[in-house]
């Protein structure tokens, strides 16, 4: 059969095609009266074509909207339609003949409940796997800390914390300065968590740990075929993954100059270009950078771009070293102990007086990271609940007093004729002697004495009370 030179399928062929495709078909006129329903659709509904044709569609198909589409001429695609206890996927199309709306045609996928169950069985494992990776991504790219987790009463620390908290409400770049181990990443987590971007990704990048030849692809991603070994379909970079969220660039002082110029483009133009890409992509990210280096000196030496430094240094948060906030040492130590108790499934761990004094007198070149390492080491060798001197690393047990000999010489008091006292009693005597000497040097001014010992006034009063000192 031909019409104006075009091959036309016989009517029998058309009916057979309709009956064999996955979608079930129904056709209604402008008034919603069924004009056609294929046999498979009728079988699914447990009716015959004669039962359906000539009746209004809502009398035959539950939850139908075919008559609405036939009246409005507005298509409805991929709608979920419950039919006989099964969730069907329905598509409804208006029918136009000579530009006149004459009715509607509708299809549903899955001819019977078993087909839906079979399909679900095949697709469910894929959906579960997708959900697993989605949860994993969200967990890995979510901030873990809040400002309430940043403990300390030192004035310089409080000033840094307050500045970071105020800055978290804006969209400006933030530069965090501090020695290694002072908690720069915790500050970055807290800023993101307190910002309007907290529901979006928090992407962490350590610029010092990624080889220079890989850093560009990590940050900006690449297109398929950009280089040998490139993944099929390409790969998103950190900036694309962090869209609408925050990208934390740790140790930015170690970023190569070439990457610095590309980072400047992200900050200025809000766009990136993948390796092998032909056009830029828009990204909306907030940059938080951190370093232990002196970027101003690096700018003068030509090792860091001056324009990038000023772009990053909109808000500069300087975190003091642990040795400069002695009054915070014990509160931080006990906070870390609580954290380690969960890790080791322990409870009620505390520090002996001698250990507290030793920790307070140490210079802590590794800052909070070193303190956590010391406490974790102690818990690993701890049998009871009290951490004593024997549980500390050897370099802490053997360290000399930083006050320049303010403690009495133990070797002068200990000889073969005098019995050796328990270590706890010996350290208590040392602590008491240090307190008495500080009080004498401060002429009774306890606040001054506490400052000389590098401890808080509250801690000083507690120790005086413990040793029955006035």
Start-end of H helices in 321-419? 329-344, 353-361, 367-380, 394-397, 410-413
The DSSP-derived string for 116-162 is: HHHHHHHHHHHHHHHHHHHHHHHHHTS----GGG-----HHHHHHHH
| Cβ atoms 427, 352 nearer than 8 A | yes
d(CA 281, CA 274): 8
d(CA 159, CA 436): 33
Instruction: Identify the pLDDT of residue 35.
Output: 94
Taking each helix axis as running N to C, give the angle between helix 423-441 and helix 446-453, from 0 to 180 degrees, rounded to the nearest 10.
130
Nearest in space to 327 (alpha carbons), one of 465, 446, 444, 458: 458
In this structure, what DSSP letter does residue 320 have?
P
pLDDT tens sequence for the chain (470 residues):
555 544 677 777 777 777 666 678 899 999 999 999 988 888 888 899 899 999 999 999 998 999 999 999 999 988 888 887 777 788 999 999 998 999 999 988 764 556 656 666 776 677 677 776 666 665 666 778 899 989 999 999 999 999 999 999 999 999 999 999 999 999 999 999 999 999 899 999 999 888 888 888 899 999 887 777 777 888 888 999 999 999 999 999 999 998 999 999 899 999 998 988 888 889 999 999 999 999 999 999 999 999 999 999 999 999 999 999 999 999 999 999 999 999 999 999 999 999 999 998 888 989 999 999 999 999 999 988 999 999 998 888 876 444 344 344 434 444 444 556 666 667 777 888 888 888 877 778 888 888 778 787 777 887 887 887 87
Instruction: Identify the pLDDT of residue 279.
Output: 86
* Tokens at 352, concatenated: 């002996």
* Domains defined along the chain, listed by start: 11-109 (3.30.450.20), 147-320 (3.40.50.300), 324-466 (1.10.8.60)
The dihedral region occupied by 234, where left means phi > 0, alpha psi between -120 and 50, and beta the remainder, is left
């Amino acid at each position: 059969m031909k019409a104006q030179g075009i091959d036309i399928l016989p009517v029998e062929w058309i009916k057979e095609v309709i009956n064999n495709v996955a979608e079930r078909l129904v056709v209604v006129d402008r008034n919603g009266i069924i004009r056609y329903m294929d046999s498979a659709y009728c079988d699914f509904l447990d009716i015959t074509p004669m039962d359906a044709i000539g009746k209004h569609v809502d009398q035959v198909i539950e939850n139908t909207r075919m008559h609405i589409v036939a009246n409005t001429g507005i298509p409805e695609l991929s709608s979920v339609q419950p039919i006989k206890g099964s969730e069907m996927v329905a598509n409804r199309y208006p029918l136009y003949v000579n530009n006149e709306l004459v009715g509607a045609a509708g299809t549903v996928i899955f001819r019977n409940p078993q087909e839906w169950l079979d399909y679900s069985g095949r697709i469910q494992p894929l959906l579960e796997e997708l959900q697993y990776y989605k949860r994993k991504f969200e967990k890995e790219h979510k901030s873990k800390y809040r400002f309430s987790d940043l403990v300390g009463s030192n004035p310089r620390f409080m000033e840094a914390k307050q500045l970071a908290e105020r800055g978290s409400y804006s969209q400006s770049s933030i530069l965090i300065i501090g020695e290694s181990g002072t908690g720069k990443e915790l500050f970055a987590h807290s800023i993101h968590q307190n910002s309007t971007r907290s529901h979006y990704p928090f992407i962490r990048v350590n610029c010092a740990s990624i080889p220079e030849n890989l850093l560009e692809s990590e940050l900006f991603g690449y297109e398929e075929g950009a280089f040998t070994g490139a993944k099929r379909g390409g790969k998103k970079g950190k900036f694309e993954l962090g869209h609408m969220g925050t990208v934390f660039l740790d140790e930015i002082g170690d970023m190569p100059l070439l990457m610095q110029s590309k980072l400047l483009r992200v900050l200025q133009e809000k766009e990136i270009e993948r390796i092998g890409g032909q056009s830029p992509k828009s990204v909306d990210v907030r940059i938080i950078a951190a370093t232990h280096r002196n970027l101003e000196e690096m700018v003068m030496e030509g090792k860091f771009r001056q324009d990038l430094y000023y772009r990053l240094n909109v808000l500069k948060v300087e975190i003091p070293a642990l040795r400069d906030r002695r009054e915070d040492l014990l509160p931080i130590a006990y906070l870390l102990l609580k954290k380690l108790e969960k890790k080791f499934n322990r409870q009620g761990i505390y520090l002996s007086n001698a250990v507290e004094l030793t920790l307070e007198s140490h210079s802590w070149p590794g800052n909070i990271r070193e303190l956590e390492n010391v406490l974790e080491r102690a818990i690993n060798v701890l049998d009871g609940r009290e951490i004593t001197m024997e549980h500390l690393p050897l370099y802490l047990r053997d360290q000399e007093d930083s006050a320049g000999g303010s403690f009495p010489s133990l070797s002068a008091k200990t000889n073969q004729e005098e019995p050796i006292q328990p270590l706890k009693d010996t350290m208590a005597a040392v602590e008491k002697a240090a307190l008495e000497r500080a009080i004498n040097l401060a002429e009774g001014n306890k606040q001054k004495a506490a400052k000389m010992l590098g401890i808080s006034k509250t801690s000083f009063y507690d120790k005086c009370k413990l040793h029955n000192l006035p």
